[in-house]
Each structure stands twice: as structure tokens, then as C-alpha cells.
Amino acid sequence: MRVVDLIRRKRDSGELTREEIAQLIAAYTKGEIPDYQMSAWLMAVVIRGMTHQETAALTEAMLRSGRVLDFSGLPGWKVDKHSTGGVGDKTSLVIAPIVAAGGLKVPMISGRGLGHTGGTLDKLESIPGFNVNLSLADFRRVLQTCGCALIGQTAEIAPADKKIYALRDVTGTVESPAQICASIMSKKLAEGINALVLDVKTGSGAFMKNIEDAANLAELLVETGKRMGKKVVALLTDMNQPLGRKVGSAMEVVESIDVLGGGGPADLRELCLELAAWMFYLGERVKTVDEGKKLSADLIASGQARVKFREIVGLQGGDVGVVDDPHRLAHARRTLDVTSSVDGFLASTECEQLGTACMVLGGGREKKDDTIDPAVGLEFHKRIGDPVERGEPLCTLHYNTEGKLEEARRLVETAYKIEREKPKTIPPLIHRVIGA
Amino acid sequence: MRVVDLIRRKRDSGELTREEIAQLIAAYTKGEIPDYQMSAWLMAVVIRGMTHQETAALTEAMLRSGRVLDFSGLPGWKVDKHSTGGVGDKTSLVIAPIVAAGGLKVPMISGRGLGHTGGTLDKLESIPGFNVNLSLADFRRVLQTCGCALIGQTAEIAPADKKIYALRDVTGTVESPAQICASIMSKKLAEGINALVLDVKTGSGAFMKNIEDAANLAELLVETGKRMGKKVVALLTDMNQPLGRKVGSAMEVVESIDVLGGGGPADLRELCLELAAWMFYLGERVKTVDEGKKLSADLIASGQARVKFREIVGLQGGDVGVVDDPHRLAHARRTLDVTSSVDGFLASTECEQLGTACMVLGGGREKKDDTIDPAVGLEFHKRIGDPVERGEPLCTLHYNTEGKLEEARRLVETAYKIEREKPKTIPPLIHRVIGA
């Protein structure tokens, strides 16, 4: 294999074999191929694309670059959910305990927030003592004990992805569906799961603003997962406005506990029930998705899901008291309302701006190593289609320092589009299910 | 300037400003931008292309990365010729003395052979003692004394080109017309010339096999040169068969001296007269190209061109005796004829294979640091359209070692296509003149 020949072939829209992709990724991970050759190849991939076969080969090569967990010794189906990221998306915190309470195993490896999006790990860490950095042995132990464990990416899992992502980030080669797919799927398939439910977000707060781009990615993810022998389904869900009413680490934990307790905002509850239902369905716990939805609702109503969440928190070193009294979580010292200057209806939101506003308040990260303030966040009072009166609060900013308050306020203020007429269409929560 | 933004813009088919390109090239040359970012940008450039304005900006940036010679203190026009490379192309050795003998200044910075193509420097160095590594001060002195000097690339000239070319070579990003143009023109414009005649080769022995690709490159070179305030013209010339009868360093010097002496093969002589004529015309030494051709022929007939060549050889430390007795040059110990196995007419040649055969005999370089044997080479007995009898020699291999003789013989044998009928069209020597 001459690397330059592989680069030239992709440059000229040619296809690489499974073997060639495997060698390329293995050699790069071992440091045998310099960054400058890899980045030229990555740029050719971004512009020329990859076939489904190449994408599967890339995913497999990245998966095999590290350790692949094997939970076949544990009884029952292992299922997981992955979201492509959005604003206010705290479904993992709700779903994982529901599905574990329903008898499936959920070995969940999550990420941190970056830019306008939040991350499950940050939210969990707002619970005092909660340890997301379990060793793989402890991960297995917690999973075995309570049916679910939630940890962060470890160095043993798909190291090729980590190395390649760092290079993509600085060479303008992030925007490749094949690379995005391989990056997501290599890490998820390393979890040793049998089935995966994907939540692919689309809209103004998602990475994929355009629904067709999102659908294409969803299809690619499903196709790749199936080629790797997994049961996979993707829900194409709306991110034209935040999910739920709250954004910010601790505030999102509070809202998740609300849903586990039978309350919480309708949209968040509904999406959690749908996602959990698909996990039960793929994991053969139920015969239909509707049955899965009913099971999920029952597990909430009976309190079992909430008890499971408390069990997970306890096993991972967290303060279980917060499950009963969420106000023990950190909260910001001050609030500021952003109000409407006109009468009308909420027509749309620049949802990414709302996520960015939370980041600006200190609740998110601009760069990977930034630290975050778990207490700050945003509380939303209106959803698209809601009537709005002049002077009525649209959003409440929860903040600790004045430093960037004005910047955050301006971002929020300009994110809301109020119109005189009620909007004719309101975005559905779920646009499409792909791969069912 | 954020480099990743410039990479992304080019990736998305956008245009970079003159300022942005200048900063990018300057920062890369200084080592402030890592290779992996540059190679991603180069790949985007290869695939997305550059506008004429961007190409001119790139050329200018590479030119300004090093020293730009200034011969404005020397009287008269400074003109040069550049060829994109081929097999048997020794026109520089003939043209430089003709044009200098005609009163113009020819400050010529040449290259070495690589792969199937030869290089002027290698040919000159087959003359015992000839020094192509003059300092820039000596270059100026020789130019001032005799109107012409022939040297190799120095570290002071367009260092950005050297650094970028090395990266392009290993990242599959050589094939960019904009980069090829900038690489050629930045070095040529650094010579401090007023006018440039380009010999853009096309055909089976050229880098651009396809005539339209060659024409596009020629137009880009001319356009870029004109934007930089130079008089430029490009001759699109044929490389479907070797130029002249001989390939190999010393053998080509012999043939060049033949032409300077009024003899030599018709095709080589004709192309030299044409190229020199255009140099005289651009350099305002004559009013028409025809007049320039007549002047060139006269300078050969009167012996002035040959005397000028001897003067150059002497001033650059070479053995002037070879000009009178070319057989003092190195020659191979053995010869082998490759004969025709059929009767017919020479229909075409795989000209690149003939150049490669010379390389295989030791007369060229596979890699940049290979050393070459100046004595070996090929002598061609037939041109396209010539009748061929069974058993008649097509080509004579001049060799010193048997090592790769068989490989070279096979390359030559399979390079000749003999057909029963005389070919209907014979490639013209000059396809087109661009920019006149």
C-alpha cells in the first residue's frame, strides 16, 4: 500500500477497499502515516464522499483500533441510545433508568458538551460525587448490578477516532457524513451492544440544520450499524426549539428527575417515552413500539424508573439525596427575564443561539478544556405556536456573574421570532423513523 | 486569519483574497502553519480549483517568499524560455546562445531531470567542468559578460515553492493547474526577466497527455505572467515522439552542438528557431516573429550562436574543446539495436516509455537524489509517418551495464506502433500559439 496512491484514488472519486481502509487507519493510529497525508485524504473524503461499503469499512477499522467491550457474559439484551446533539437534550438521563428498570442492559458511553450543545457527562457531574470516570471493570460491575452504567469515553475505546477527530477539527474536514458516521458508530459499537436507537436531530439547534442532510446521515448510520450486525433504528427528531424547558447542567438534571417522577414538560416526556419504547422493541422486551411506550409510561408511574435512577447515582458515587430533593443541586444566584417587546405568537427560535447563550453564561464550553459552571442556564417559557404578550417573559437567564450577561441576553433576545399571526405549522417532535 | 476558515472556504468552492493567500503562503514558509493544514488546503485546491486571480496571487506570494533578482542595471531586454518537460527536449542549449548572440540577455534558471524527462542542468554537466551552481553574484557576472548564464535553482529563489512542492509530492496534490502555474511562474519571474516564452508540451511523452489540458495550462501561465506585468507567450508543442534523434545527457549536448553548427535534425532545429524567434519578438529585437526566425537562422549560419555557446561554456568553467569536438564528451561503451519485426509505417510512439527506457539505462532519475550516467541514452532512427522495413533498426540503445538492459529494451520495443498503412495525420511540431 502506497498512501499517496490511496489519497489520489479518493481525490479522483475512486473507491477504497475494506483492506485498504483498514491498513490506512491502523497505520495512522500507530503513527506510521504522517498527519499531512491523513489530512489530504480526509479532505478528499469530505469533498468526494464515501460509499456505504467504505463507510462501514472505516467504522470497522476505527472500532478495531481499540478495545471492543464484550458483555455477552451478562444475561439479556444490551441496548443504547445515541443523540447527535442539541439544546436541552437530557433524554439519556431519563431513558437509561427506564430501560434498565424494564430489564434490559444499558452500557452507555457518553460525551461532553461543546459549543451550543450540552453533554450527558456534564449533567451527571452536576450531581455531587457522581463519577463518570469508571474503569472498564467498574463499568461492568455497575452494569451487572443495576442494568445500567453511564461513563465517559476512555482511551481504550476507538483511539483512532480520537486521533482522527483532532485532525479533522483543525483541517476543515469535520463535515463528512462518512466520517461523522464512523466516529459515532465506532464508539457505540465498541460498547458491546446488540441494538442501538439513534436520535438524529435536525433544525436550527442541530448540527444538521437541513432535514434532508439529517435524514441522509440517519440512513447512513442505520445502514452502517446493520452492516456491522446490529439492530439499529434512527428517529429524526426536531431541534428547531430547545427540548424541554431548561438548559444548563443542574437545571437539566432537575427536569429529568421531574420526568422520572411523572411530571416534566410534555415534549421531553413524549420523546423519552418514544426513544425508550424503541429500545424495548429492538431489545425484544416488547412486541410493538406502542407496547414499549406503555411499558415506559408504567415504569415511570410505578416509580420504578425513579428508583433505578437513584440506584445508578448511588452506585456511581453520587448524592442520592438529590433524587428526592433536586434543589440540593447547585443553582445560580441571580436571574434575569428576557421579555417580549410585542404581542403575537412565537413563530420560530434560533435554537443554536439559545444554546450558545447558555455557553456564554459559563454553562457550556467554547473549547474542549474549558470548565463549566453547572448552576447556570436558561429557562424557557414559550414554545413555537404559543401566544405571547408584550412584556411577558420569554426566557429566564440563571447566572452567577455579570461578565457576559449582556452578550447572553442579546443572543436570547434575537433568538425569538414573534409574529402577529399564529404559525400555520408547528414542527412535529418526531419527523420520521428510519430503518424500522 | 484563521487557517481552518480558509481551508473550509476553499473546500466549499469559495474564493480567497490576494491578502489571504499572501498570509497563508508567508506563514507556511515561516513554519507558522503545520503541514497537515497546508495539505488539506492543497487537496481542496486540487479538487475545487482556483480562479485566475487566486492563481496570480499564489504565484506572487510564492515569488515574494524569496529573493527576486533585479537585472534592471544591465542594459537591454531580459528574456527566458521555459518548457514543461518532455523527452529529448534540449532546446535551451540551442536557444540560449542564439538569443544572447542576438543581443538580448538570457538569465536562465533550469531544473534537473526526473522520471522520463530530462533536465537542462544534467545535460550541461555532461560537459567536463561545467558549473551550474554559480552564486547569484557569479550568475550576474556571466550574464553581464556574455549575455547568458545557465544555473540551477538556488535556496534564495521562491523557497515557498520548494516547501510546498515537497508536500504536494507526498499528498497526491501535484495535479493542480493553479499550483503547477504558480510553481513555474514564481521561479521564472524571480529571474528578473521582462519576457518569457513558454513551451507547453502535449502528447504521450508530456505530463499533459491531453491537448486541452495543456492548452488550459498554457492559457493560465500566460494570463498569470501578464497579470504580473510580463510579456508572455506560450507555444503548445508536440511531444508524441521524442524531439530530435537523441536522448541522454551527453548525446543531447552533441545534438545541440549539431544544430548550433547548422546541422542536426529538422524538427529540433525548427522548434529552436521558432522559440528563439518568439524571444526576439517579445524582447523587441525584431518587429515580427518571421523576422526573428530569420535572425535566428542567420546567427546559426554565421557561426555566432556556436561561438556564443563556447563563450558560455568557458565562462562557466566547462571544457570549450567539446564544442569543436563533441566526441570528447562521455559516450557509452556498448550499443544495441531494437529492430522492427514487421514491414509498415511508424504510426505512433509511447513517448513516455522511451524516456523511461533512458532512465532505466541510468540516464535519468527515478528519485530526486539518484545519480545519473551522462554517457548512456537512446538514438532514434524513425519518426512518425516514416516507412519501416522488417529487421530495420528503430532505435539504438547506448548502454554501459547490462543490469537493466532487458527492461529498457522491452520498454523501447513496446513503445513503437507499426501499422501497414501510412498514418493519415502526422502530429504537427507546434499545435498552437497562445497569448500572442
Q: A144 CB near a chain B CB, below 8 Å?
A: no
Distance CA A264, CA A254 (A): 9
Query: What local confidence, expressed as pLDDT, does residue A268 receive?
Result: 98
Of A40, A46, A170, the CB nearest to B42: A40
Q: Is residue A288 very low, low, confident or very high in pLDDT (cuts 50, 70, 90)? A: very high
Contacts of B170 in chain A (CB under 8 A): 4, 36-37
Contacts of B167 in chain A (CB under 8 A): 36
- Catalytically active residues of A are 82, 161, 168, 183, 187
Helix (H) or strand (E) holding A232: strand A231-238
Q: Say which amino acid occupies B280.
A: F
Which 3 state secondary structure label does DSSP give A195?
A: strand
Distance CA A252, CA A436 (A): 30
Query: What local confidence, expressed as pLDDT, does residue A175 receive?
Result: 87
Phi and psi at residue A151, to the nearest 5°: -130, 175
* Nearest CA-CA distance, residue B11 and chain A, Å: 7
Q: B7 CB near a chain A CB, below 8 Å?
A: yes
Contacts of B173 in chain A (CB under 8 A): 11, 40
* Nearest CA-CA distance, residue B52 and chain A, Å: 22
- Report CA torsion sign: B187, B189, B190, B194: positive
* Nearest CA-CA distance, residue A37 and chain B, Å: 5
All 3 cell numbers of residue B218?
A: 498554457
B49, pLDDT greater than 90:
yes
Q: B166 CB near a chain A CB, below 8 Å?
A: no
Contacts of A43 in chain B (CB under 8 A): 7, 11, 39-41, 43-44, 47
B1, pLDDT greater than 80:
no
Query: What local confidence, expressed as pLDDT, does residue A366 receive?
Result: 87
Q: How many CA atoms lie within 13 A of B313 on its CB side?
A: 25
Q: A39 CB near a chain B CB, below 8 Å?
A: yes
- B93 Cβ neighbours under 8 A, 6+ residues apart: B120, B123, B124, B252, B253, B256, B309
Question: Which residue, among B33, B35, B171, would best test binding to A if mutated, counting the most A CBs under 10 Å from its CB?
Answer: B171
Count the neighbouring beta carbons within 10 Å of the beta carbon of residue A234: 28
Distance CA B428, CA B436 (A): 19
Of A4, A47, A173, the CB nearest to B47: A47
Which 3 state secondary structure label does DSSP give B38?
A: helix
Count the neighbouring beta carbons within 10 Å of the beta carbon of residue B368: 9
Please compute the mean of the pLDDT values over residues B98-111 and round it to a whole number.
Answer: 96
Q: A173 CB near a chain B CB, below 8 Å?
A: yes
β-pair type (B416-419, B387-388): unpaired
Query: What local confidence, expressed as pLDDT, does residue B175 receive?
Result: 87
Q: Is residue A368 very low, low, confident or very high in pLDDT (cuts 50, 70, 90)? A: confident
Contacts of B43 in chain A (CB under 8 A): 7, 11, 39-41, 43-44, 47
Q: How many CA atoms lie within 13 A of A127 on its CB side?
A: 30
Count the neighbouring beta carbons within 10 Å of the beta carbon of residue B301: 10
Q: What percent of chain B has pLDDT over 70?
A: 100
Q: Where are the beta strands (DSSP E) in B259-369?
A: 334-339, 344-349
CA dihedral defined by B128, B133, B139, B145, rounded to 10 degrees? -10
Distance CA B385, CA B393 (A): 15
Distance CA B57, CA B366 (A): 33
Give the residue from chain B lying closest to A35, CA to CA: B36
Please compute the mean of the pLDDT values over residues B359-376 and round it to a whole number.
Answer: 93
- Mean pLDDT score of chain A: 96
Query: What local confidence, expressed as pLDDT, does residue B25 receive?
Result: 97
CB contact under 8 A, B43 and A44: yes
A371, pLDDT greater than 80:
yes
- Is residue A167 within 8 A of residue A138, CB to CB? The reply is no
Nearest to B308 by CA among B166, B198, B148, B416: B148
A82, pLDDT greater than 90:
yes
Distance CA B209, CA A34 (A): 32
Distance CA A363, CA A119 (A): 11
Distance CA A338, CA A2 (A): 59
B6-42 confidence digits (pLDDT tens): 999 999 999 999 999 999 999 999 999 999 999 999 9
Phi and psi at residue A183, to the nearest 5°: -65, -45
A333, pLDDT greater than 80:
yes
Nearest to B314 by CA among B153, B144, B142: B142
Query: What local confidence, expressed as pLDDT, does residue A369 receive?
Result: 85
Active site residue B369: no
Query: What local confidence, expressed as pLDDT, does residue B350 receive?
Result: 97
B2, pLDDT greater than 80:
yes
CB contact under 8 A, A11 and B46: yes
B211, pLDDT greater than 80:
yes
Active site residue B365: no
Q: Where are the beta strands (DSSP E) in B62-202?
A: 79-83, 106-110, 148-152, 195-202
All 3 cell numbers of residue B259?
A: 544544430
Query: What local confidence, expressed as pLDDT, does residue B368 receive?
Result: 83
Please compute the mean of the pLDDT values over residues A217-245 and round it to a whole number.
Answer: 97
Distance CA B131, CA A314 (A): 82
Distance CA B86, CA B133 (A): 23
Q: A165 CB near a chain B CB, below 8 Å?
A: no
Name the H helices within A134-233.
Answer: 136-146, 159-170, 177-189, 211-227
Query: What local confidence, expressed as pLDDT, does residue A387 receive?
Result: 98
Distance CA A250, CA A245 (A): 13
All 3 cell numbers of residue B304?
A: 555566432
Please compute the mean of the pLDDT values over residues A302-310 and round it to a whole number.
Answer: 98
Q: B131 CB near a chain A CB, below 8 Å?
A: no
CB contact under 8 A, B37 and A167: no
CB contact under 8 A, B11 and A40: no
Give the residue from chain B lying closest to A166, CA to CA: B36
Q: Is residue B153 very low, low, confident or very high in pLDDT (cuts 50, 70, 90)? A: confident
Q: Is residue B367 very low, low, confident or very high in pLDDT (cuts 50, 70, 90)? A: confident
All 3 cell numbers of residue B175?
A: 495535479
Query: What local confidence, expressed as pLDDT, does residue A367 receive?
Result: 85
Q: Rounded to the nearest 5 degrees, what angle is found at the Cα of A163, between the Cα atoms of A213 and A237?
A: 25
Beta bridge partners of A81: A197
Query: What local confidence, expressed as pLDDT, does residue B327 receive?
Result: 87
Of B5, B34, B170, the CB nearest to A4: B170
Which 3 state secondary structure label does DSSP give B108?
A: strand
Active site residue B331: no
Most distant CA pair in chain A, distance: 67
Its pTM surpasses 0.90: no
Q: Is residue A1 very low, low, confident or very high in pLDDT (cuts 50, 70, 90)? A: confident
Query: What local confidence, expressed as pLDDT, does residue A202 receive?
Result: 97
Contacts of A46 in chain B (CB under 8 A): 11
Most distant CA pair in chain B, distance: 67
Contacts of B7 in chain A (CB under 8 A): 43, 171-172
Q: List C-alpha distances in Å: A48 to A11, A51, A176.
A: 7, 10, 9
B175-189 confidence digits (pLDDT tens): 899 999 999 999 999
Query: What local confidence, expressed as pLDDT, does residue B248 receive?
Result: 97
DSSP state of A326: G
- Mean pLDDT score of chain B: 96
Q: A172 CB near a chain B CB, below 8 Å?
A: yes
A198, pLDDT greater than 90:
yes
Nearest to B49 by CA among B142, B176, B186: B176
DSSP state of A335: E
Which 3 state secondary structure label does DSSP give A220?
A: helix
Distance CA B365, CA B248 (A): 12
Phi/psi zone of residue B332: left (φ > 0), alpha (ψ -120 to 50 degrees), beta?
beta
A189, pLDDT greater than 90:
yes
Q: B136 CB near a chain A CB, below 8 Å?
A: no
ipTM for the predicted complex comes to 0.86
Phi and psi at residue B87, to the nearest 5°: -110, 120
Query: What local confidence, expressed as pLDDT, does residue A327 receive?
Result: 87
A239-272 confidence digits (pLDDT tens): 999 999 999 999 999 999 999 999 999 999 999 9
Of A4, A11, A171, the CB nearest to B36: A171
Nearest to B355 by CA among B113, B12, B148, B135: B113
- B12 Cβ neighbours under 8 A, 6+ residues apart: none
β-pair type (B393-399, B377-380): antiparallel
A384, pLDDT greater than 90:
yes
